[in-house]
């Protein structure tokens, strides 16, 4: 992603941080009076992102809210959609003079490790892993529910539905997950038809992830699904560390963040899977917030390995 270098804005008096994910959009407005967080409906990664993000920004300006700097982390962002100048124009009602835009793997990383080296696994409806070394940045997975997102909320929900249908057919073991799914689909054999026709099917399927994690300690089928998810997420973390030359350092930093890690069972599966290959790894779960990372985009140094992955736009300030 390239940087649109304009005149530097003055020291920010107010900021708007946005974490745009598929399950929901989180926002934080901070100024001299304090900070306020709120939420909005999630974005659709199968639709153009820029109009959706412009709408989020415009709604955030309601009530005369002002912000000098806007920082945005977004799921599914590609280089051709990283148009910070377009979004800065949408932020005109806020009075914004600078806008910084990045994939949510970048903001998740900044929120967890700042500019230190290591790897961050951000797991929600989808999952993306980012590793940062001295000069290299490696993204692992985050390839969406059709061809990736191994160990994500969608992945867990899909595995739960598969297990329920296997038991229904006589191909698999009994599981408490059957009762959970039947509450939504009394006629299990119609579930696949209803889900295929639901535009929100990704979020709907991912909604089963939390019940799976909650049942993991008491249900063998749910436990096996969560253990497999932990191994998938650990494999992504290890791959990232190897690619940036951090797998062989002393106590490599590994962080698991995002809503999916709110269920303790997933952390208990993830940490030993990491330590099986890296016994001395510094593994920590849930010690970050992506909004912190979105707010930190403006402070990333040009010398940082992350700088090339942030799109920025600045308003041209009048000299008169």
Q: How far apart are CA 84 and CA 176, in angstroms?
A: 47
- 15-103+290-314 maps to which CATH number? 3.30.420
Helix (H, G, I), strand (E, B) or coil at 199: coil
Q: DSSP for 112-138?
A: HHTTSSEEEEEESSSEEEEEE-SS-EE
Query: Stretch 156-167: mean pLDDT, rounded?
Result: 98
The whole-number pLDDT of residue 317 equals: 64
User: Any idea where the domains of the chain sit in the sequence?
Assistant: 15-103+290-314
Alpha helices, H only, the chain: 49-60, 84-90, 104-113, 144-147, 153-169, 177-184, 191-196, 201-206, 209-215, 220-243, 264-275, 290-296
Query: Stretch 150-168: mean pLDDT, rounded?
Result: 98
Under DSSP, the state recorded for 251 is S
Predicted confidence (pLDDT) per residue in 201-258, tens digit: 999 999 999 999 999 999 999 999 999 999 999 999 999 999 999 999 999 999 999 8
How many CA atoms lie within 13 Å of 57's alpha carbon, on the beta-carbon side? 31
Query: Stretch 145-154: mean pLDDT, rounded?
Result: 96
CA distances from 69 to 97, 102, 108, 140 (A): 6, 14, 19, 29
Contact yes or no for 278/235 (Cβ under 8 A)? no
pTM (2 d.p.)? 0.83
Beta bridge partners of 267: none
Q: Please report which confidence band the pLDDT of residue 3 belongs to, taking 50, 70 and 90 as the band edges.
A: very low
| Residue 64 pLDDT greater than 80, yes or no | yes
Q: Please report which confidence band the pLDDT of residue 40 belongs to, taking 50, 70 and 90 as the band edges.
A: very high
Question: What does the mean pLDDT of the chain come to?
Answer: 92
| Residue 65 pLDDT greater than 70, yes or no | yes
| Residue 21 pLDDT greater than 50, yes or no | yes
The whole-number pLDDT of residue 13 equals: 80
Helix (H, G, I), strand (E, B) or coil at 49: helix
Helices (H) and strands (E) in the chain, counts: 12, 11
Compute the C-alpha angle 51/124/147, nearest 5°: 80
Q: How far apart are CA 314 and CA 297, in angstroms?
A: 13
Beta bridge partners of 74: 20, 103
Predicted confidence (pLDDT) per residue in 269-310, tens digit: 999 999 999 999 999 998 778 899 999 999 999 989 999 999
CA-wise closest residue to 265 among 113, 156, 112? 156
């Amino acid at each position: 992603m390239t940087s649109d270098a304009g005149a530097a804005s003055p020291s920010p008096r107010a900021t708007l941080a946005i974490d745009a994910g598929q399950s929901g959009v989180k926002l934080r407005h901070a100024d001299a009076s304090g900070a306020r967080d709120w939420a909005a409906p999630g974005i659709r990664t199968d639709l153009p992102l820029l109009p959706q993000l412009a709408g989020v920004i415009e709604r955030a300006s309601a009530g005369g809210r002002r912000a000098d700097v806007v920082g945005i982390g977004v799921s599914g962002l590609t280089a051709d959609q990283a148009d910070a100048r377009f979004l800065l124009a949408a932020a005109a009602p806020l009075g914004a003079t600078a806008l910084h835009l990045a994939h949510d793997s970048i903001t998740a990383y900044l929120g967890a490790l700042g500019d230190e080296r290591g790897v961050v696994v951000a797991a929600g409806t989808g999952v993306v892993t980012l590793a940062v070394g001295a000069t290299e940045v490696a993204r692992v997975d985050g390839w969406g529910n059709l061809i990736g997102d191994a160990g994500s909320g969608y992945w867990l929900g899909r595995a739960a539905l598969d297990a329920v249908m296997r038991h229904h057919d006589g191909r698999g073991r009994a599981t408490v997950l059957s009762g959970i799914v039947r509450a939504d689909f009394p006629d299990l054999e119609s579930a696949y038809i209803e889900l295929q026709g639901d535009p929100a099917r990704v979020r709907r399927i991912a909604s089963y992830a939390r019940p799976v994690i909650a049942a993991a300690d008491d249900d063998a089928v749910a436990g096996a699904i969560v253990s497999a998810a932990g191994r998938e997420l650990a494999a992504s973390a290890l791959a990232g560390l190897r690619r940036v030359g951090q797998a062989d350092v002393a106590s490599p930093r590994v962080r698991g963040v995002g809503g999916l890690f709110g269920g303790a069972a997933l952390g208990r599966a993830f940490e030993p899977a990491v330590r099986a290959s890296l016994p001395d790894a510094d593994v920590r779960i849930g010690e970050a917030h992506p909004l912190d990372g979105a707010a930190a985009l403006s402070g990333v140094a040009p010398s940082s390995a992350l700088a090339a992955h942030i799109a920025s736009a600045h308003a041209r300030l009048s000299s008169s």
